Amino acid sequence: MSGRDYGKMDELIKTFKALSEETRLRIIKLLEGGELCVCDIVAALDLVQPKISFHLNALKEAGFIKDRKQGRWTYYKLDDSDMLRRFLLLTVIERIPSEAVSEDSERLAEFLKSKAEKGSVVSMDAACKSCTR
């Protein structure tokens, strides 16, 4: 095998490793609903920000998500630009029952509601403090 072939194999290994962790699957399922800020994901999964960032980075390096920065905040969304990854994302999303992530979804909905309420009274800096940690 040439070095080029090993590079493709390494890419496949990274792709499948990214899908072999429950937290990453939960993040993918959350992002099914659209773009989210890191603080939204932290609140939904009820985990610390460094742990979430680690998993987001693994998903990003594997090509499953992309990010954009807006001020101090980073927002993530699913990246379906690659056909293989799009197929894998659709498969993962379809195979994870909503009931399996219902608590995550409920926490996310509560957090987004509270963030919106605070946003009308308090600056977004205060509403999204965990994004700046």
The overall average pLDDT reported for the chain is: 88
3-state SS, the chain, equals: CCHHHHHHHHHHHHHHHHCCCHHHHHHHHHHCCCCEEHHHHHHHHCCCHHHHHHHHHHHHHCCCEEEEEECCEEEEEECCCCHHHHHHHHHHHHHCCHHHHHHHHHHHHHHHHHHHHHHHHCCHHHHCHHHHC
Residue 99: both structure tokens together? 């009931």
Q: Which residues are registered as beta bridge partners of 30?
A: none
Higher-pLDDT residue of 65 and 5 is 65
- Binned at pLDDT 50, 70 and 90, residue 1 comes out as low
Q: Which domains does the chain have, with CATH numbers?
A: 3-132 (1.10.10.10)
**What confidence tens digit (pLDDT) does each residue in 24-55 have?**
999 999 999 999 999 999 999 999 999 999 99
Contacts of 10 (CB under 8 A, 6+ apart): none
- Answer yes or no: is pLDDT of 132 > 60: no
- Answer yes or no: is pLDDT of 133 > 90: no
- Binned at pLDDT 50, 70 and 90, residue 4 comes out as low
Q: Are strands 65-70 and 73-78 parallel, antiparallel or unpaired?
A: antiparallel
